[in-house]
Amino acid sequence: MIDLEDQIRIVLNSQAEAMHVPDAVPAAARISMDPPSRRRREHLRRDGLRRPRGMALAVLSTVLVATLVGGLWWIANRPALSNFGPLPETALTEGVGRYYLPTGLPDAYRVLAVREYAGDRPVPTAPRALYRDSQTGALVDLYEAAPADRWPDDSAGNVVQLPSATARLQTLGPPDTGSETQFQVDFGEHLVSGITRLTDQAALTRVLADVRTAEGSAPRLVGDGYTLLGVQQAAAQVAAEATIYFGPPGGHLGADSTTITIRRFREPVDVALRAGIWDESATINGREIQLGFMSVHPAWYPTPLIEVTAQAAGRSMAAQDVLANLVEVDERTFADQVVAIEAAVDDPVVEFVGSTSITFPSGIEAVLFGVEDNPRGICLAVDTTRRCDFALMTNAVYTDDGRDVGFFDIQLLVDQRWFTVGLRTDTTTFPVPDGSEVATDGDRTYYVIERPADVVAVDDAMHGSSPRPLR
């Protein structure tokens, strides 16, 4: 009989041996540039024309990635497709307009948090073209990049000298779950960026040699054998977005959670273009589900204006099945779910160990609920109304030693008034917003402020938004 400690050794070593270790050679070449992390790839896909702006953007990305995963890139102002039918009229103030709740989740799951945003800032993006290469069947996504986004000369793992341009490319992602190749074709005055699932060097070289720029419109692939599937001409817009977190109260969201994000666009989207190079779908429960980036962030389009994406972790059902089993609810039912979040304080699945209460000068009280040293949620009490968010982890940034939360901003709708409550441990780099009420605890500065547009505005090309009292 093997004792428990040996069993643990066997399990851990078996898991380690079973891992496919990504090739170190391209990784070594890549680390001379910005770390080619998945986060970076998500950023490039989401925000290809903009350059990261240091730590501030990184912190803001922490907030955004929770709602943007899936490698979404933008489709803009595409003419309405003929099969989309008449467009529903929905005012911005009505939020996403459609609300969905999952069925079949584990019994212990509750709504842990709801985050809503209204996209109120137009975002300039470059036209993008999506082609299919008939020789390989691969999709190729092209757009003209800003000069500032040119990769450093010493960063490229592979450089291909073309007759009239220099191309740099790097293939990312483990082969067993799917790879993608990002590339830049540098024409001097013009820089074309792109992405494809092609990994074969010869095929890539052929495609890159056929890239051409087009003044004022999307880059092109010239020659026979390419089919233009569509061009997104201008900035697409998210009118409103709501993200709903489900999981066992007090539990680990990384191990047990389901997240649904509903986005409403100002104009209908072309699903095929929005899926981009990750063009795979499955029909489940009569619904066509786009399987999405590496098949882990599926999306469903109940109408051309509405996109619903799901993430699932741990023991909840697969994300595509979550989408296939969503039920639409009215706004009142949805609002009731939000109010019910507070009940998790008294009914956690994992008991909250420890709490911190912060009272601001006006009497507003914030309470952080933790498990050991990891806070899991926060409640904000204004007058006699209290609202809570138990998905704090999706928003928080931890201190360098990884042992404590050092930064978060949480927006809560309390009695029809949006408040932002936050924490800073480095107020020099990340000052609290002007006009905030502040309470300090050692080097920890807590603040609360009502609807500060300059604070809650998210510096992101896709969202550029602030919460609104949508409910």
- Position among 8, 146, 228, 339 found at the interface with another protein (CB under 8 A): 8
Residue 402 Cβ vs another protein, minimum distance, rounded to whole Å? 4
> Which residue stretch of 108-116, 117-125, 207-215, 249-257 sits at the interface with another protein (rule: CB under 8 A)?
249-257
Q: Interface mask (CB under 8 A) for another protein, residues 268-297, using x and -?
A: ----------------------------x-
Residue 152 Cβ vs another protein, minimum distance, rounded to whole Å? 13
Q: How is residue 330 written in tokens? A: 């009215």
User: 212 - beta bridge partners?
Assistant: 220
Q: How is residue 373 written in tokens? A: 């040293």
Q: How is residue 93 written in tokens? A: 């103030």
Residue 30 Cβ vs another protein, minimum distance, rounded to whole Å? 7
Residue 88 and residue 463 in contact, taking contact as beta carbons nearer than 8 Å: no
> What are the backbone angles phi and psi of residue 310, rounded to the nearest 5°?
-140, 145
Residue 313 Cβ vs another protein, minimum distance, rounded to whole Å? 4
Which of 122/254 has CB closer to another protein? Answer: 254
Angle at which helix 38-46 crosses helix 54-68, to 10 degrees, equals 80
Looking only at residues 10 through 49 of this chain, which bind another protein when binding is defined by CB under 8 A? 10-22, 24, 27-28, 30-32, 34-39
- Position among 313, 335, 349, 457 found at the interface with another protein (CB under 8 A): 313
Quick one: which of 204, 127, 128 has its CA closest to 168?
Answer: 204
Residue 156 Cβ vs another protein, minimum distance, rounded to whole Å? 15
- Position among 47, 48, 49, 66 found at the interface with another protein (CB under 8 A): 66
User: 353 - beta bridge partners?
Assistant: none
Residue 54 Cβ vs another protein, minimum distance, rounded to whole Å? 15
Looking only at residues 406 through 435 of this chain, which bind another protein when binding is defined by CB under 8 A? none
Q: Is 402 in the site for another protein (CB under 8 A)?
A: yes
- Position among 57, 59, 60, 65 found at the interface with another protein (CB under 8 A): 65
Strand bridging mode 110-119 / 238-247: antiparallel
Diameter of the chain measured on Cα atoms: 73
Residue 76 Cβ vs another protein, minimum distance, rounded to whole Å? 27
- Position among 7, 103, 164, 333 found at the interface with another protein (CB under 8 A): 7
Residue 24 Cβ vs another protein, minimum distance, rounded to whole Å? 4
Distance CA 135, CA 278 (A): 18
Residue 204 and residue 198 in contact, taking contact as beta carbons nearer than 8 Å: yes
Q: Is 29 exposed, middle or buried (0-12, 13-18, 19+ CB in 10 A)?
A: middle
Q: Is 187 exposed, middle or buried (0-12, 13-18, 19+ CB in 10 A)?
A: middle
Distance CA 238, CA 123 (A): 10
Residue 262 and residue 307 in contact, taking contact as beta carbons nearer than 8 Å: yes
- Position among 121, 252, 386, 451 found at the interface with another protein (CB under 8 A): 252
For another protein, the binding residues (CB under 8 A) are 1-2, 4-5, 7-22, 24, 27-28, 30-32, 34-39, 62, 65-66, 174, 252-257, 296, 311-314, 371-372, 374, 393-394, 396-398, 400-403, 405
